């Protein structure tokens, strides 16, 4: 099985890549989805985060109040590191188990989407790393459509390694300025024939 780690900055096309790959029958796991699972009501990671960051991060319905947690961790690097220490080992355990299951099933290709792939030293777990990227102006426009303020965008970018560094360290770079057809065509040059 050929394994790819997929990374890139926020708003640069990781979700679009996941949709394109799934449509082609590629096994894909997104660590953002895993992160949501492990902080669902009743999960140990949610309880640990609430202990670390206070009762206000969980609503009356038992759900994580993401905006409140983001307000805390993106304004305090030490708090962000504390949250990462709670979440990242659990997330890694889940995606590595998924890759092992796919290998046992005989999947030909698997892709794991990890926004902080290089920051968490996960690159050695893959046969190759792909970075999706776009210009800062396109990133700003995409995130503005999501309702993000320039300050929120700057905070999220500051919490990740520079996209230029991710591009430099990746085995492949997919430039996502064009349409989905161009994005998909770039994958055709990377993925092994199935």
- Domain membership flag for residue 64: yes
pLDDT reported for residue 65: 95
Cα 171-19-169 angle, rounded to 5 deg: 15
In a domain, 194, yes or no: no
Per-residue pLDDT at 194: 67
Does 18 reside within a domain?
yes
User: Which helix (H) or strand (E) is 7 found in, with range?
Assistant: strand 2-8
- Phi and psi at 12, nearest 5°, equal -105, 0
Listed residue (123, 61, 47, 130) closest to 90, CA to CA: 47
pLDDT tens by residue, 136-177: 999 988 988 888 888 888 888 877 878 999 999 999 999 999
CATH number at residue 81: 3.40.50.300
For 36-47, give the secondary structure using H, E and C.
HHHCCCCCHHHH
Q: Is residue 130 assigned to a domain?
A: yes
Does this model's pTM top 0.85? My answer is yes
CA distance 39 to 63: 8
Neighbour-count burial of 114, counting CB atoms closer than 10 A to its CB (0-12 exposed, 13-18 middle, 19+ buried): buried
What pLDDT does 56 receive? 94
In a domain, 96, yes or no: yes
Is residue 149 included in any domain, yes or no? yes
Instruction: Look at residue 17 and tell me whether its pLDDT is greater than 80.
Output: yes
pLDDT tens-digit profile of 87-101?
A: 999 999 999 999 999
Per-residue confidence (pLDDT) for residue 193, from 0 to 100? 79
Nearest CA-CA partner of 19 in 159, 176, 153: 176
The pLDDT tens digits of the residues spanning 40-90 come to 999 999 999 999 999 999 999 999 999 999 999 888 999 999 999 999 999
What size, in residues, is the chain? 194
Quote the tokens at residue 18.
Answer: 């996941």
Domains identified in the chain, total number: 1
Boundaries of domain holding 108: 2-188
Beta strands in 57-139 (DSSP E): 109-113, 128-133
Decide if 193 is inside a domain: no
């Amino acid at each position: 099985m050929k394994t790819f780690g997929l990374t890139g900055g926020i708003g640069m096309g990781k979700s679009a890549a996941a949709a394109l790959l799934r449509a082609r029958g590629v096994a894909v796991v997104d660590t953002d989805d895993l992160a949501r699972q492990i902080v669902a009501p009743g999960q140990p990671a949610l309880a640990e985060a609430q202990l670390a960051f206070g009762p206000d991060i969980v609503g009356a319905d038992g759900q994580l109040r993401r905006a409140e947690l983001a307000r805390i961790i993106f304004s305090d690097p030490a708090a962000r590191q504390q949250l990462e220490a709670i979440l990242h080992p659990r997330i890694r355990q889940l995606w590595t188990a998924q890759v092992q299951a796919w290998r046992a099933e005989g999947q030909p290709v698997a892709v794991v989407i990890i926004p902080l792939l290089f920051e968490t030293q996960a690159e050695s777990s893959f046969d190759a790393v792909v970075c999706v990227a776009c210009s800062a102006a396109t990133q700003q426009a995409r995130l503005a459509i999501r309702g993000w303020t320039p300050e929120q965008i700057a905070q999220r970018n500051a919490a990740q390694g520079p996209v230029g560094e991710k591009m430099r360290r990746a085995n492949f770079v997919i430039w996502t300025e064009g349409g989905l057809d161009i994005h998909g065509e770039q994958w055709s040059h990377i993925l092994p024939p199935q």
